[in-house]
Structure 1
């Protein structure tokens, strides 16, 4: 082997090693910054969804984009904050009331009275509670230890939420400049095409949010009816909490079922069983009928595509994947329709009676002077 061949082999080996190291370094960087990347993805999702509202408000009533963006964000996130307050404030009141009644509840439970005492009596756990009071108190003291981790998690969530809101606000505010700069790098024809693709993607994300909110409203309304009929207290607050949890595709109804069924069982075993049966039936209807059909109309996707995309994304990326699966599938469909139009890929069809050797060659070229 000559020196030139040796140098070529060494150069190719170095290129392969460099590509492998660069890939590993890129994956490590993504892993280390995964929290920030998740915040950016969620912020971009909200920015794409809210940009049409800001554009419409700027065109019709408010001429300054900064003011239009501020008004839209105040309205949307103010509404979300109001809904959160409707849920959190009654829960804090109930927690305070429960803390005040904790000694009395403990005495009733040990005596086998009250809702907790009756449950423990049925499960044959009251005798253990009476026979081992010191051990029960030690378990109770151990439950206070994870409080620091819970507080840290709450603070991290609040910081992430604030960061997402600020990032989405800046993305919407600077969207016209970013779009002009990006489209200035291509020709007029390509710019018009990219602008049309952007409008369709924005319409897809907005349709997804609208459809998801509609499904949550249906779930919350039906939950309120069932809880009210069974006499469960605070039916409105619980139904609102269930509706918010139902915003999460596939698993949202399960989370809501845990909340509502728990409240039902605390009220009475009959109410708990009725609520649990309702959610078992409703979750099947939502996952296999409501969500595929409504999302298919809102995002203009095939119902089977909606269901498969949510299942695959939830398996690959967890909660974030489930939330973004449907709009991502809609955007992918738009890109495929634009850049891979129907008829681009041609599969040759052999003539009738022709053997394998007589089939039309790939590309459709015929011999000179031949006819088909």
Structure 2
């Protein structure tokens, strides 16, 4: 067996061996891991940037996916009872559109019927606020208030405000385009959702196919359970707060109840925002005592929801820490505004659900597996 000395290495072999050693030590392993993280972040940023660039397409498709996941059990139930697939799909689709139209109609009609009373009460409230401001310990003169009012008026009548109105018209056009696209995509998701998923899984075989099926089933069940549970909680919140502020005599009780229902789809901050809005309306129209009563009603309903409804309806669906929810809400709001705030949490819950079944029906992906109890006890 020949004996090789270090001098026997060729010049090309020595640098290669040195390079391998440089990457094999602890610092080299850290550098490799950092490079991997950077590559993953670049890919994720690229995907997010592409999705935000064509948000008029991605957002309607995601909304359609979430709604279709929630309505999938209804479509399946109709088909099991020998209702033709097309008829079942159209029935569910028309039902969803009818609910959305009803929500918008309730807001418009209620605001239109009570707008004059609210306007008069708002003027009185503004005058009371103005008198309160002038009585503060520090000096705020009527001239300063008039100058601030004039500044707002000048902005509304300026060319800058006009350009903002044009941007609003463009946003309206994008909204209508996205709405039509969402309806069309929702129809096909309801009608052929399983077939579309099977088509996307054609490149996978064996264990990879089984994993993709598990992930798809968990994502659909998580999204559907989240929407149905949140809708139930939101309905209870809207009824409780709406009845309470109606008894107090707050104007626009019905639109405010609808706002409560909508904002309930934004965890943590949604209920607080709706409560603040209702309290402000009560403060302007009725006075501070009624506003405090409204705040008490909102706090009571939210406590009942958080301690009773949420654990029962959402406990197995929304298995996310509060910090993760807040970060997801912030990121979704920055990327897509209110729509992103509503969609970010169910998408995070779906992603976490996929991780939980990555390696088996009850086996999470390796980095997220819990340590065995005996290993923890040994330490």
Q: Could you state the TM-score of these two structures normalised by the residue count of structure 1?
A: 0.70
Residue 248 of structure 2 aligns with which residue? Answer: 230
How big is each residue's C-alpha offset from its partner over 1:218-237, in whole Å with a ceiling of 9 and x where there is no partner? 21122123212311123223
1:134-164 CA deviation, whole Å, 9 max, x = no partner? Answer: 6523422313514444444444334333333
Give the alignment partner of residue 87 of structure 2, picking from 59, 67, 70: 67
**Root-mean-square deviation over aligned CA pairs:** 4.5
User: How do 1:192-271 residues align onto structure 2 when only pairs under 5 Å count?
Assistant: 198-269=216-287, 270-271=289-290
Aligned counterpart, 1:79: 99
**Deviation digits for residues 103-141 of structure 1, max 9, x if unmatched?**
xx89xx6xxxx2321222122289844676465234223
* 1:353 aligned residue: none
Answer yes or no: is the 8 Å Cα contact 2:238–2:261 preserved in 1.
Answer: yes
* Aligned match of 2:336: none
Q: How many correspondences in the alignment?
A: 334
The answer for the alignment partner of 1:139 in structure 2 is: 152
1:82 CA displacement: 0.9
Q: Tell me the residue number matched to 2:62.
A: 41
- Scaled by the length of structure 2, what TM-score is found? 0.69
Unpaired runs of 5+ in structure 2?
1-9, 24-34, 334-340
**Alignment correspondent of 1:370:** none
> Aligned pair in 2 of structure 1 residues 129, 337: CA closer, same or farther (>3 Å)?
farther
Instruction: Tell me: CA distance 1:138–1:274, structure 2 relative to 1, closer, same or farther (3 Å).
Output: same
Equivalent residue number for residue 277 of structure 1: 296
Task: Tell me the CA shift for residue 217 of structure 1.
Answer: 1.4
- Note the alpha carbon deviations across 1:136-193, whole angstroms, 9 max, x for none: 2342231351444444444433433333332232233332432443555556898677
- Cα distance change on mapping 1:349 and 1:244 into 2, 3 Å: closer
Which whole-Å CA distance do the structure 2 matches of 1:28 and 1:312 have between them?
A: 20
- Assess if the C-alpha contact under 8 Å between 1:228 and 1:235 holds in 2: yes
Aligned to 1:324: 347
> Would the aligned equivalents of 1:129 and 1:136 in 2 still touch at CA under 8 Å?
no
Alpha-carbon shift at residue 252 of structure 1 (Å):
1.2
CA distance in structure 2 between the partners assigned to 1:39 and 1:209 by the alignment: 16
1:339-354 map, 5 Å: 340=363
Deviation at 1:264, TM superposition (A): 0.7
Structure 1: tracts of 5 or more residues without a match = 351-355, 357-372
Does the CA contact (< 8 Å) of 1:245 and 1:253 recur in 2? yes
Which is bigger in relative contact order (C-alpha 8 A, separation at least 6)?
Answer: 2
Quick check: 1:208–1:327 contact (8 Å CA) kept in 2?
no
